[in-house]
Amino acid sequence: MMSSPVVAIDGPSGVGKGTLAQWLCCKTGFHLLDSGAIYRALAYGVSKEGIDIADVESLVTLAESLPVEFKATSIIYAGDDVTSIIRTEEVAAVASKVAAIPEVRQSLLKRQKDFAQAPGLIADGRDMGTVVFPNANVKLFLTASAEERAKRRVNQLKNQGVSANIAQITQDIMERDERDRTRSSSPLIPADDALIIDTTSLTIQEVCDKAQGALVEAGIDF
């Protein structure tokens, strides 16, 4: 039996992967894997429980039984709604550090693979097309300049009612990107067979249209 189609969307932070993933989910009716939210939920748990990020054994123990659940519009951690709090820059900084640890990535692998279910999956992350779903039917890799991504992040945070300093956000984004790109385990790189979309001067709709074209070409009609 053919397995359900998987669409991998990778790229750095603030590039618009989440927006594209949600648009594709609405269009296709596929499930969504927001893998960054899993790393963020882990970071939240690490901070909440006061785990030292050098204590790999405790990190892995928490990752293996991470009490996170994805509801329609909210993310629940051990019964608490953490949808907003995991989006803060503080949580993102810890997420980027724990995501660099190979044992942590390994222990979150199965949880991510389990999202691949009928009728299909849109998977948003950094290593969807390279590590988690190397056989994905479509692999998209989004890029944009750091300045453009910082601008988008600031607007996104403002819309969520979170105040933001553009200089600080640009610096945070560049530091986080550098860590995500240069880590030895699952670095942020496009898969050989990924379609690279530079979104710097594209509208959201133009990005969605290009992605739709790639899905149609792969036989995923909608």
3-state secondary structure string across 88-136: CHHHHHHHHHHCCCHHHHHHHHHHHHCCCCCCCEEEEECCHHHHHCCCC
Instruction: Tell me how far, at minimum, the Cβ of 36 lies from ligand DC, in Å.
Output: 2
Residue 11, marked binder:
yes
The 8-class DSSP code of residue 13 comes to: T
Instruction: Tell me how far, at minimum, the Cβ of 166 lies from ligand DC, in Å.
Output: 17
Residue 18, marked binder:
yes
Nearer Cβ to ligand DC, position 43 or 215? 43
* Backbone torsion region of residue 50, taken as left when φ is above 0, otherwise alpha when ψ lies between -120 and 50, otherwise beta: left
Residue 15, marked binder:
yes
SS3 of residue 57 by DSSP: helix
Instruction: Tell me how far, at minimum, the Cβ of 216 lies from ligand DC, in Å.
Output: 25
CA dihedral 112, 159, 93, 181 (to 10 degrees): 70
Nearer Cβ to ligand DC, position 31 or 40? 40
Residue 13, marked binder:
yes
Q: Which residues bind ligand DC (CB under 6 A)?
A: 13, 35-36, 39-40, 92, 95-96, 99, 125-127, 176, 180
**Nearest-CB residue to ligand DC?**
36
Nearer Cβ to ligand DC, position 196 or 216? 196
Residue 12, marked binder:
yes
Nearer Cβ to ligand DC, position 160 or 222? 160
Feature table: binding site for ATP = 11-19
